[in-house]
Structure 1
Amino acid sequence: MEDINQIPFNFDPRIGLIVGIMVGFLVFAVSLDLTWEKLRRVLKKPKAPTIGLVAQFGILPAIAFLTGLYLTDSPSIALGLLLVTCCPAGALSNYLTGVAKGDVATSISMTTISTLFSIVLTPLLFGFWASMNPSTQEVLQNISMDPQRVIMTLQIMLIIPVTAGMLLRAKRPVIVDRIRRAVRLVAGIVFAVIVAMIIGSNFKSLALLAQTALFPVLFTFVVAVGLGWGIGWLAGLMAGERRAVAIEVAFQNVALAIGLGVTFFPTLGGIVAVSILWGIVHLTLGFGLAIAWNHIKIE
């Protein structure tokens, strides 16, 4: 097979900016649910969210690092696993927690905190773990990442939308209650169209990459679910809380990962391929898991 790191992905230069803006819009939509009251609630009952966040940011990237080190020979796939697992939870996790009869309050708390922390932790953890693997470190050394561009991208995708969403929620709660569902729907549809365009123009390359990337993605995702549930069980969390933590740890903000991949690594198709495959896996296996839990009575 052709060297996986040389498989071309076709990106219009304007796609990176458009994807970045749409990811920012999606983060803004999620941030409309972020309130200081929810943060105070986490401080009053921090056990479940804290355990989940330790698993999500403290342990899962290490698992992705080991997967990339031992289960794939492709630096781009290893980097893709790190990028996805260093991203915060996505809004879909809150919905699936409800379907799974999990503790939605715990899920929302984790999404809130992980989104805020990701502004610092996502680039920090990604850079740290990528530097620990000789093959990924070599790839990053050959890629020029302008610090100003990194800061601008984080502003577009995270800082500005999170700030805007929380401020609008605080200042105009009635308006937010009216528009938040519609904003999420519109943002999701538009981003889905953009991702479909990326897949459509790179279908052959994605199919080739999937032959190598799918197993590491599946393995890491399954371990992530088990990690969330297992660490919750060891900590003595209730069944509903364990389900919430398991889903939050495994269901990353794939849109953010795709946006960062397209923006900073347009020549490394494996990174975007892993992000897209992770999204496909968590939509299929994730829904299946949520439905299965829905039929299991919580003691």
Structure 2
Amino acid sequence: MLAQLTILATDLDDIKIDFDSGSLTFLKVVIALILFGVALDTKLEDFAAAIRRPVPIAIGVVAQFVLLPALTFLLTILLDVRGSVALGMILVACCPPGNVSNILTHRSGGDVALSVSMTAVSNVLSIFLLPINLAFWGGLSPAGDDLLQSVDMSIWETFGEIALVIGLPFVAGIGISRIWPRVGARAHKIVGPVSFILLAAIIVLGFVGNFDIFQDYITIVLLAVFLQNALALALGYAIARATRLPVRQQKAMTFEVGVRNTGLGLLLVFTYFDGLGGMALVAAWWGLYDIITGLVVAEVWRRRTPVAPEAAVTV
């Protein structure tokens, strides 16, 4: 059995997940909708609030863009995963959070205002930091470096793609929220849930359309995703505890670090890596798994800790 898994793992670097150009365009639209939904719930005052509370924001930025990719890199070496799986794990670690982190923070009774501010700041920073982080940590990976070198992906091209998918929807959403706040508030209630339903549908249809591949190879990424997801959630909680943040901010930090926008990761996999097997499997499974684990953690946390009245706000 172990020998069979080793052979499968070796072949995984050569597997390509089928995803046509029409589906890729639809995925871009869905990711743009997700970021548009985040922006509709973001106000310019959130950035001002972030400036007034620089310590937790700075802690979150360091945890997301320095510690998580670094620890993920070490995890890929410890697990001795194949190159495509290693790159997939590193890519997920480099992705920003989405507004699922805001929803989970709200459900757990955490500091929603901090969560929204951190999500806004993280998504803006990811436009610049995601391609740099991916190139840096992917280049250091003994397993993933050769695959990364074989891909025609420049930092500037990736920066342009991310700026298009994140930057434009973000600016549009903030603008609408600023000029027409009632329209923005109503649209947010629709755009957010619809975009995530569409993303889940894309992932599920991808599983169905490539069922034979997923059936043969999904077991290879199960442990990797399980450990990385646990690591991300634990990192957010641990760094919040270590820096003595209040309980409600600990909850926000846990989900901001532990929840990743893997839809953006999938977009990059199919845009630059031609649906590379291990990367696509890791990002797709992460997209479903972290929502499940996040909901479980949020519900347990809500039951075990009191919810402050100001935490009960609509996200």
Instruction: Please indicate the TM-score interval, normalised by the length of the shorter structure.
Output: over 0.9
Q: TM-score, length-normalised on structure 1?
A: 0.94
8 Å CA contact 2:97–2:119 kept in 1: the answer is yes
1-structure distance, mates of 2:130, 2:181: 29
- Tell me which amino acid in the other structure corresponds to 1:207: Q
2-structure distance, mates of 1:151, 1:279: 22
Structure 2 SS opposite 1:6: coil
Structure 1 SS opposite 2:143: helix
Match 2:167 to one of 145, 159, 164: 159
The aligned residue for residue 99 of structure 1 is 107
Change (3 A) 1:240 1:174: same
Alpha-carbon shift at residue 280 of structure 1 (Å): 2.3
Matched-pair identity in % = 30
Which structure 1 residue ranges, 5 or more long, are not aligned?
none
Alpha-carbon shift at residue 147 of structure 1 (Å): 6.5
- 1:115 matched to 2:123? The reply is yes
8 Å CA contact 1:77–1:213 kept in 2: the answer is yes
Structure 1 SS opposite 2:304: coil
The aligned residue for residue 206 of structure 2 is 198
Change (3 A) 1:281 1:192: closer
Alpha-carbon shift at residue 298 of structure 1 (Å): 4.5
The aligned residue for residue 61 of structure 1 is 69
RMSD, matched Cα: 1.8
The aligned residue for residue 216 of structure 2 is 208
Alpha-carbon shift at residue 193 of structure 1 (Å): 2.4
8 Å CA contact 1:229–1:246 kept in 2: the answer is yes
**CA deviation vs aligned residue, 1:151-177 (integer Å, no higher than 9, x gap):** 542233112111111122222222212
The aligned residue for residue 45 of structure 1 is 53
**Which deviates more from structure 2 when the two are superposed, residues 269-278 or residues 146-155?**
146-155
8 Å CA contact 2:269–2:275 kept in 1: the answer is no
The aligned residue for residue 283 of structure 1 is 291
The aligned residue for residue 277 of structure 2 is 269
**Which deviates more from structure 2 when the two are superposed, residues 146-155 or residues 191-200?**
146-155
Alpha-carbon shift at residue 45 of structure 1 (Å): 1.7
**1:226-265 pair list within 5 angstroms:** 226-265=234-273
Match 1:9 to one of 17, 21, 25: 17
Q: TM-score, length-normalised on structure 2?
A: 0.89
**CA deviation vs aligned residue, 1:78-104 (integer Å, no higher than 9, x gap):** 111111110111111111111111111
Alpha-carbon shift at residue 229 of structure 1 (Å): 0.9
1-structure distance, mates of 2:294, 2:128: 27
8 Å CA contact 2:72–2:93 kept in 1: the answer is yes
How many residues align? The count is 299
8 Å CA contact 2:17–2:280 kept in 1: the answer is no
Which structure 2 residue ranges, 5 or more long, are not aligned?
1-6, 308-315
- 1:142 matched to 2:180? The reply is no
